[in-house]
Copies of this chain bind each other. A is one copy, B any other.
Amino acid sequence: MEKEIIITEVALRDGSHAIGHQYTVDQVATIAKALNEAKVPYIEVTHGDGLGGSSLQYGFSKTDEMKLIEAAVSVVDFSKLAVLLLPGIGTIENLKEASKIGVKMARIATHVTEADISKQHIETAKNLGMETVGFLMMSHMAPVEKLVEQAKLMESYGADTVYIVDSAGALLPNEVRERVKALKNELAINIGFHAHNNLSLAMGNTLAAIEEGATRIDGSIRCLGAGAGNTQTEVLIAVLERMGIKTGIDLYKLMDVSEDIVSKILLEPQIINRDSLTLGYAGVYSSFLLHAKRAAQRFGVDSRDILMELGKRKVVGGQEDMIVDVAAELSKEKITIG
């Protein structure tokens, strides 16, 4: 049987982080139209933190995301629209509204150990006739058995696909392999993989995931995503063509969209700098970065040591007060050693 990989393009969602949630209706319509012409099967459009993400805490969107989604829906006749929703940030009402506008896929995202909060949203999306995806974020933070347990929960709620999401870009190829293999063994639904390039392994990890049986893959054109960006979509299509794997996407067209359209809206090119590398190396939330830098200055320690320690302790979002504690401890150790 010939292998086929189904791509979801996330530059209009994950890329929203990289441009400070400043997408305009015109930009989204232009890019969605071009992606549609290149035969990209799914296009995700939402605030970087999903439906309802526009807020003081997560950053205000320049444009109401429903207007952006409407703009994308209005220009596609091949591609299907997807939205991301994090229960607690987005609501059932947001989901209904998106469905009404014409969104065909709902991706319900939770921390890798909190799949149980996705039940109501996955079920609602199913009832609305949408394709449903369970999206397990920060997958590197849970042991394989825990990941399997959580993925099974999402499967039991009716998810058509479950994604291993490497939010911090912290996974190594072998770690991706064992995770995909375990899910393939234990689940009957599609397995997906979403990478970040903080350790320069987005493409290597994606190929490892595909080899082990993942068939749903996220990419961002021109690497337009949080941190160092995601698996670069047009590069992935070239690599898959070299491997004889079909995606149905027009490679040259996609390369041109990247070069002639998307590259123009980037605030700066997506590279691996000190910050994104630190996130991948420590395996922590990007929102910790600024807090750690402030605490580092206050306590006279290296912000990277703080982040590494937070990574070791598996600190999660909402525990930001731990950052100052860790900085103070490191500072004390330093004095003792000194």
Contact = CB atoms under 8 A, between A and B. Distances in A.
B239 A199 contact: yes
A277 B234 contact: yes
A256 B241 CA distance: 38
A231 interface: yes
A284 to B, nearest CB: 14
Contact of A172 (B223, B239, B256): B239
B304 A252 contact: yes
Interface in A205-249: 205, 207-208, 222-223, 231-232, 234-236, 238-239, 241-243
Interface stretch (A16-24, A34-42, A124-132, A263-271): A263-271
A255 B270 contact: no
A200 interface: yes
Contact of A204 (B207, B222, B259, B269): B207
B259 A200 contact: no
A201 B199 contact: no
Which size class do A's interface residues fall under?
35 or more
A197 B302 CA distance: 30
A255 B274 CA distance: 6
A43 interface: no
A203 B198 CA distance: 11
Contacts of A263: 273
Main DSSP-derived SS at the A contact region? helix
A259 B273 contact: yes
A277 B238 contact: yes
A269 B234 CA distance: 19
Given A243-B172, A304-B252, A271 B270 contact: yes
A207 B259 contact: no
Contact of A235 (B200, B207, B270): B200
A266 to B, nearest CB: 9
B201 A239 contact: yes
A277 B274 CA distance: 25
A59 interface: no
11 contacts: A172-B242, A173-B204, A199-B203, A199-B239, A201-B203, A232-B272, A235-B272, A235-B277, A241-B281, A252-B304, A255-B278
Interface of A: 172-173, 197, 199-205, 207-208, 222-223, 231-232, 234-236, 238-239, 241-243, 251-252, 255-256, 258-259, 263, 268-274, 277-278, 280-281, 302, 304
